[in-house]
Amino acid sequence: MLPVVVVHGGAGHIPKERSETSTSGVCAAARAGYVVLKGGGSSMDTVVEAVTQLENNPTFNAGCGSVLNVKGEVEMDAFVMEGKTLATGAVSAVRNIANPIQLARLVMDKTSHVCLTAEGASHFARSMGVPEVPMESLITEYSSMRWRKNLAPDANPVECQMGKMGTVGAVAVDCDGVVACATSTGGILNKMEGRVGDTPCIARACMCVCVCVFVSGCGGYADNSSGAVSTTGHGETIMKVVLARLILFHMEQGQSAEAASDSALAYMKTRVGGLGGVVTVDPQGNWAARFSSLQMAWAAAQKDTLHYGLYTGEHFTQSLDDPH
């Protein structure tokens, strides 16, 4: 079945006028990742390339296009994890960086740490020669409009979340059977300054005793013994159930990628009322894109075929040789 790359553009409610750009965006990211795989690249190279594509696309809540915090500023989280060695890198509350996912990769490759945050992450970025960009270049007119609406005294909290799209991410299996995942986000709309969501947080433990430190296991996880997951949705509820690691726990008990994803999403909805979505792969290249929210733009590339969808039950395919 291998290799494969699967991407998501965030779970949530996607307005009709943005549905086409969301679908085309995840398809382009999956194509870009698959080019890396076909060229013999690693699963880590693949997921970083796919998520970089999504960060550069203003349609998505990551990089350029990130939602704004209560002060009208961009603060972003990102992480990567590779399943062979459990190598991990993460950044949180970073500003003025066009591609936080690439900075997370540098944390993994160039430091002995797992997560750097805020100004510390900025110092590290400068030391690595990562260029800073003006915050204005990351703020879209759409994000500003939604930020202003949410600040209005008579704002309806439900309506303010309409059009919200969650975290973006990708999972992949390469020709060597190594799994990897990557997740990047601007967070939740009008969040408090300094808020850190599920993306860079890990709970690496058995399911009965969870230890929380800054890596991932909530917003994603990768382990060659089970598979890789990237999650999206309401970070606070994802953290409460350690969603990514819960999915892999079910897979370790013999469930398929699809069944494990559905089981964990159903548990999150029942236990804490949370909605979200995931992309999941096992080391053999079996994959799933599942969600409990209204929509989630997703795409997968495998065996020269592009798979994609937006609503529950949708699964379209086309040849990767088809430029459209």
Give the rounded distance of the alpha carbon of 218 from its chain centre: 11
- Distance separating alpha carbons of residues 36 and 278, to the nearest angstrom: 22
Judge contact between 185 and 197, C-beta under 8 A: yes
The strand pairing partners of 182, in sequence order, are: 80, 170
- Distance separating alpha carbons of residues 264 and 272, to the nearest angstrom: 12
Judge contact between 231 and 198, C-beta under 8 A: yes
Q: What is residue 156's three-state secondary structure?
A: coil
Place of tokens 């693949």: 46
Q: What is residue 45's three-state secondary structure?
A: helix
Round to the nearest angstrom and report the end-to-end CA distance of the chain. Answer: 25
Tokens of 93: 């509350």
- Residues in contact with 271: Cβ distance below 8 Å, sequence separation at least 6, in sequence order: 240, 241
Instruction: Give the amino acid at 5.
Output: V
- Distance separating alpha carbons of residues 8 and 298, to the nearest angstrom: 4
- Catalytic positions, please? 167
Place of tokens 């726990």: 249
Q: What is residue 134's three-state secondary structure?
A: coil
- Distance separating alpha carbons of residues 167 and 219, to the nearest angstrom: 9
CA angle, 55 then 186 then 156, to 5°: 130
